[in-house]
A and B are shown apart, each in its own frame.
Chain A
Amino acid sequence: MLKIFLWLRYLRKRRVVLLSIAAVALSTALLIVVASLFNGFINAFEQSAVDGMGDVVLSPMKNFAGYAELEKRLEEIKSVEMAAATLSAQGLLHLGKGNVRAVEIWGIEPAKFGKVTAFDKSLLKTKQANPAGSGGISGYVGIGVLAEPNEQTDEYDVNGAEGMIGQQFVITTGSTTEGTNGGQQFKRKTIQFTMADAVFTGIYYFDSRLVYLPIEQLSRTVYPDSQEPVAGRIQIKLRKGADSELAITEIRGVWKIFASEKLGWEDYQIESTITETSRQMQSRFVAEIRKQMGVLLLIFGVVSLSAVLLIFCIFYMIVETRRKDIAIMKSCGADSGSIAFIFVGFGAFVGILGTLLGTAAGYIVTKNINEVEGWIRVAFGLKLWKASVYMFSRIPNEVYWQAVWWIVLSAILGAALGAVIPALSAALTRPVRVLRYE
């Protein structure tokens, strides 16, 4: 009780202690914001892969026919909810006079693709991919393909994009066919389609590069010699709670039988097929970002050591000016351990108050980081975040609680550590010397 009384008294009477609380709060808030932004970016990056590609992707070394049957076989696996075949090709999208954009064309089965990925949610108006269409070929165009985002705000003109729904566009791609002399011949192919909706995933690459067309039409156009439509990969959504490793093993088994029986592929061709989760596909890059996060946190952690020095200075000062109090307490029977504990405990108390404030500040800044960024843009004309640089349209604003606990714990320990030497100095006080009359 005496200790708490003294802590509160020092806090009230020695205003300089507030500086140490401010320093701890500042360091804690900064570390929380940095860790949360990095982690948010990593999570968004991994989630973007899942949203764009599904949970698992099966990528053979070459295109293959008969994907409908493979989808059916895969969907018979207990852990697989749905499988959707896709095909990709390159092309030029003619948006108007002189306005030609290089795009990547994804051939999809809209209804299935919308369920395997987050495609449905990304559609601006309809929110559900409609496989029936309006008779002709329906396609979906990334919002960034239609127009560049605003230079100042980095926001797309959503109304403008919605206004283009229903318009007809021509995409030019090419097909490779067997030539008369045995070689391959490249022929230009155009596909006219009606834009069924614009796609805004918030992921810059998808939004600025992709055009989605029905896989059958794309396959017929690009691979006219193939009797059946072909696919380049299978994107798979797993059931909730499914073990991804087990699912991959089962998917590989199904693929092996299918490729061998139906496609007649050689073993090396089957073995070279890559089946992995979309998170695994990004793992190298994610590991690199995590490493950079660690380095940055280490740098700020080292700089934050100055807060420990500050606490040391302040506590040293308190001990120096409170020698008589300490001597009186010791002369009343307090042992050295109790005296030391008063100051170490006070250090921890300062740490707790500082981290509470810092965590609150870190939480508020992280949660409102997009608003803060917007405010900086308005106040200073400085657009810090751009989707074209950082992949995503919005800054991820999830607090990384796992790191918060570590940061808070380290800050409290650091604060207590800063108080150790002054506490020992206090504990070694000899009442007989301090309380001498002269």
Chain B
Amino acid sequence: MAESVRQWGALMRKEFLLEWRQRYALNGMLLYIVGAVFVCYLSFNARPGQLTPIVWNTLFWIILLFTAINAIAKSFVQERAGRQLYYYTLASPQQIILAKIGYNTALMLVLALLGFSVYAFVLGNPVHDIPLYLLTLILGAIGFAASLTLVAGIASKAENPATLMAVLSFPIILPLLLMLLKISKNALDGLDRSVSWDEMGTVLALDAITLTLSWLLFPFLWRS
């Protein structure tokens, strides 16, 4: 157990190092979300506080969804096939997928927090219950990372990964996205937190399903 945790830590460290050495990809993702927020801001041409809460919330999550798909799509195409084969001789596939999910969660958290602060800065911040909204962002980051990492693994094996990634992940991510929209809308309106517990439980259950499936199915994926 301790040994596998140590291996998992080493693989996570490798992901962070790799990202740090190829900073252009990371900077690209950061610029992507800031750029997307700005495009929306200028397209609506709205002063802070002009968007209705529903539009504000939905727009933010859509931006986050597209950023997540783009950011996570590259988790398997960044490294050459030979190097991946080498990792598989060193560690079990389960550890590799868990390390990738862990790393992607961290990446999504950074992107979501940056996106949220820029978005709230330019379009105004109508959120009443900020801690709950941030908790939704964390749950969303875990959920996006868990389900999209496996889909990225599937898409990376095919001919045109970019299109397939979007086509395969939109329907898969939808239940999660709808639940997140609901909780964040509750947080936005400052409703009592007990209203959101049910949805919170569903999001956690969905996260658990996707994590378990990634753990079970990835060993079959990497062999090809």
* A, B assembled together: no
Chain A residues in the interface with B (C-beta under 8 A):
none
Chain B residues in the interface with A (C-beta under 8 A):
none
